[in-house]
Chains A and B, each alone.
Chain A
Amino acid sequence: MGEQTKTSALTGFLAVLYYEFLWNLRKKKIVGLFILVFIIVTLELALPPILDYVNGVTLTPDPNSVTDFFSVNGIFLFLIAVATTMNTISGEFETGSITPLLTKPVSKNTVFWGKIVASFLTLLGIYAFLTIYVTVGAVVIEGTQNNLQLVPLGLIGLTLATMVWASVVIILGTISKNSLVAALGSFGVYIGITIVAAVLGTVYGQTSILFYAPGGGATASTTLCERGVGTTFSTGTDNLGYLLIQLVLNPNTVLNFCGVRISPGGRGEGVQLFTSSSDAMSTVALRALGVSLAYTAVLLLVSWYAFRRSQIIESS
């Protein structure tokens, strides 16, 4: 005993990471999450061929089913974000374990960023597990798959997309110090944004405001809007994994965003679609990346500030 060891920033950081993984991975919630995600993905993989079989359609192998997997629904990302991060900071305040933690020789900055990095790595881990499962499953069910080398890029995109929602959960949790407020509040934010985006989309079409909203964002069409809608997909932060893959595969594909025009008293439907703007895939994908990173950075910086300011006044 008695040797005086100095704590460097790095060892403190690694200790916080270890602390996070040690207690996060024990939580039933995380294990439950793994199982849930596993079931959903299994259904997603197995259902189309089963339906085809039931309907008597001959199985046509889909060589893109792995790359298409990265185009997942936002609610799925949101739920994973909530489950991984709703307790990370607020939970420490709720249980009172923040008190012994913050009196160890790790700075508040180290604790905060350690927790953020641990959340990021947890998400990456969950998605890596999923991706491997999907890849193996797709090769077995659908046969040879194209562009498997782009899978890691999709994985990063999926994780960054989820970090947007995770940051919403974290900022609410840090400010309220309450996990329930973090979970329900961020759900409110998610629903709110989704509804507002849907309303905007109906009234104004895919306006440029939607390019900068988190979540589903604007819907792009590969054909000109006037000619009826061809292949469409979401270009928001939620779809970042798919967009990054497309960035490499089809950077020059032109994407069209449809505006809505209501023709006064005209014949027919009264609602007309027109191409309000067009962008190259590369622009769209990089914009989604920038928007994701910007939301994540701003929300996390504000949370960091709130965390640094917080005092531990709760009587335990």
Chain B
Amino acid sequence: MVVDTPVIQTESLTKSYGSRVAVNRLSLTVEAKQVHGFLGPNGAGKTTTIKMLVGLLRPDSGSLKILGMNAAGDKPKIRERIGYMPELPKFPKHLTGEELLDVYGRMYNIPRETRKQRIPELLKMVGLAERGKDRIGKYSKGMQQRIGIAQALINDPELVILDEPSIGLDPVGMVEVRDMVKGIVKGGQTVFFSSHLLAEVQQVCDHVTIINNGNMLFTGTLEEVSQKAGPNRRLVIEVQKPSDAILQALKALPFATVDSSNSTYTLTLKTKDDVRADVSRAVSGAGGVILRMEEQGGGLEDAFMNLVGKEAQ
């Protein structure tokens, strides 16, 4: 294995809007082929950081390297190799989806034949195969997000940066976007995407950086973050007919403590493993039928509470 230079490397990156520090001495490293989640609540500084990465904002101080090259400012040579989807992207309304991808493709100097082949593929991938000839002005919010993902991939980039790709999408759309990101990952590209949903990050990422108020709280692998979030993870199940047998069976599980109310049981988990199958087996073994099973906690909120709590100490 060759030791690659990091795909993204920032050192003490800082940006203020007036007197408000939006990103504060951020030192972030994303290695090649990572799927790196960038997590933080609203106003944490995610978009500001990403805009500096793609050259839309100039850093106040600190250094910024992408693919080993100094990336602060207007750097077309770097942008040639990255794909970026802005937060809630807006495209020229007068163009159709196909035209948009075509004209952006020309800006990357992608040959006509390649464009002709790749554009339908991308439209299909983001679920817009039928709507490629419609003007973007007629697209719904979710469809604009989708064309945003497609245009970020037109140049087959080495690094894909997505700013909240699933914001504003319905649950089905969110799952589809997650699948698209997984699809990108299979291509072997490095992916850096921001989100405020840990669940989303958990499903697709291997690494995560958590940021709040412009400060980095954590960076590391997903396992490391779920350890921090671990203690509060709960599994809530609803059964058709609650019974003593079910309660006993659940209490017998070694990895959880149980609370019950009406037809709902809440299991507080002591493990980080996925135990849904074990729980399901225990309930059906006791003659019960599960109507609903839901994981709670272990979300960003909990991880945050932990991290922010530690920060405060």
A binds B: yes
B90 at the A interface (CB under 8 A): yes
| A1-14 interface code vs B (CB 8 A; 1 in, 0 out) | 11111111001101
- Residues of chain A from 95 to 116 with CB closer than 8 A to chain B in the complex: 95-97, 99-100, 102-108, 110
What are 18 A-B interface contacts by the 8 Å CB criterion? A1-B156, A2-B156, A4-B81, A11-B106, A12-B107, A15-B107, A16-B107, A18-B106, A22-B94, A22-B95, A26-B95, A95-B90, A95-B93, A97-B90, A99-B86, A99-B89, A103-B79, A312-B56
State the interface size on chain B (CB cutoff 8 A). Answer: 40
Q: Give 18 A-B pairs besides A3-B114, A97-B92, A100-B89 with Cβ atoms closer than 8 angstroms.
A: A6-B80, A7-B76, A11-B109, A12-B109, A15-B106, A27-B94, A95-B90, A97-B91, A99-B86, A100-B90, A103-B56, A103-B86, A104-B104, A104-B108, A105-B76, A105-B107, A106-B107, A108-B74
Known: A22-B95, A105-B76. Is A316-B89 also a contact (CB below 8 A)? yes
Residues of B participating in the A interface, judged by any CB pair closer than 8 Å: 17, 47, 51, 54-58, 74, 76-77, 79-81, 84, 86-95, 99, 103-104, 106-111, 114, 118, 148, 151, 155-156
Residues of A participating in the B interface, judged by any CB pair closer than 8 Å: 1-8, 11-12, 14-16, 18-19, 22-23, 26-27, 95-97, 99-100, 102-108, 110, 308, 311-313, 315-316
Query: Per DSSP, are chain B's interface residues mostly helix, strand or loop, or mixed?
Result: loop
Which of A3, A22, A100 is within 8 Å of B86, CB to CB? A100
List the B side residues contacting A4 at CB < 8 Å: 81
A12–B76 touching, CB < 8 Å:
yes
Which of A3, A11, A97, A103 is within 8 Å of B84, CB to CB? A103
B54–A104 touching, CB < 8 Å:
no
List the B side residues contacting A108 at CB < 8 Å: 74
Known: A5-B108, A100-B89. Is A313-B17 also a contact (CB below 8 A)? yes
List the B side residues contacting A106 at CB < 8 Å: 76, 107
Known: A95-B92, A103-B54. Is A316-B106 also a contact (CB below 8 A)? no
B56–A102 touching, CB < 8 Å:
yes
Which of A2, A6, A104, A315 is within 8 Å of B79, CB to CB? A104
List the A side residues contacting B118 at CB < 8 Å: 1
Nearest CB to that of B93 among chain A residues?
Answer: A95
List the B side residues contacting A6 at CB < 8 Å: 80, 109
Measured in the bound complex, the distance between the Cα atoms of B109 and A18 in whole Å is: 13
Nearest CB to that of A27 among chain B residues?
Answer: B94
Measured in the bound complex, the distance between the Cα atoms of B135 and A27 in whole Å is: 13
Can you list the 9 inter-chain pairs with the closest CB atoms, starting with the nearest? A96-B90, A15-B106, A26-B94, A105-B80, A312-B56, A104-B107, A15-B107, A105-B76, A7-B109
Nearest CB to that of A92 among chain B residues?
Answer: B92
B89–A23 touching, CB < 8 Å:
no
Nearest CB to that of A6 among chain B residues?
Answer: B109
Measured in the bound complex, the distance between the Cα atoms of B17 and A108 in whole Å is: 22
Chain B CB within 10 Å — which of A1, A5, A97, A99 has the most?
A99
Measured in the bound complex, the distance between the Cα atoms of B151 and A100 in whole Å is: 9
List the B side residues contacting A27 at CB < 8 Å: 94
Query: Per DSSP, are chain A's interface residues mostly helix, strand or loop, or mixed?
Result: loop
Measured in the bound complex, the distance between the Cα atoms of B163 and A91 in whole Å is: 23
A316–B107 touching, CB < 8 Å:
no
Known: A103-B55, A103-B79. Is A14-B106 also a contact (CB below 8 A)? yes
Measured in the bound complex, the distance between the Cα atoms of B104 and A285 in whole Å is: 43
List the A side residues contacting B79 at CB < 8 Å: 103-105
Nearest CB to that of B105 among chain A residues?
Answer: A15
A312–B91 touching, CB < 8 Å:
no
List the A side residues contacting B55 at CB < 8 Å: 102-103
Chain A CB within 10 Å — which of B87, B94, B109, B118 has the most?
B109
B107–A7 touching, CB < 8 Å:
yes
Minimum distance in angstroms from B184 CB to a CB of chain A: 13
Measured in the bound complex, the distance between the Cα atoms of B155 and A7 in whole Å is: 11
List the A side residues contacting B94 at CB < 8 Å: 22-23, 26-27
A100–B76 touching, CB < 8 Å:
no
B77–A18 touching, CB < 8 Å:
no
Which of A5, A100, A102, A103 is within 8 Å of B111, CB to CB? A5
Measured in the bound complex, the distance between the Cα atoms of B90 and A147 in whole Å is: 50
Chain B CB within 10 Å — which of A11, A96, A103 has the most?
A103
A311–B58 touching, CB < 8 Å:
yes
Minimum distance in angstroms from A44 CB to a CB of chain B: 31
Nearest CB to that of A12 among chain B residues?
Answer: B107
Measured in the bound complex, the distance between the Cα atoms of B51 and A313 in whole Å is: 9
A316–B87 touching, CB < 8 Å:
yes
Minimum distance in angstroms from A28 CB to a CB of chain B: 10
Nearest CB to that of B104 among chain A residues?
Answer: A104
Which of B81, B88, B99 is within 8 Å of A22, CB to CB? B99
List the B side residues contacting A95 at CB < 8 Å: 90, 92-93
Nearest CB to that of A16 among chain B residues?
Answer: B107
A311–B95 touching, CB < 8 Å:
no
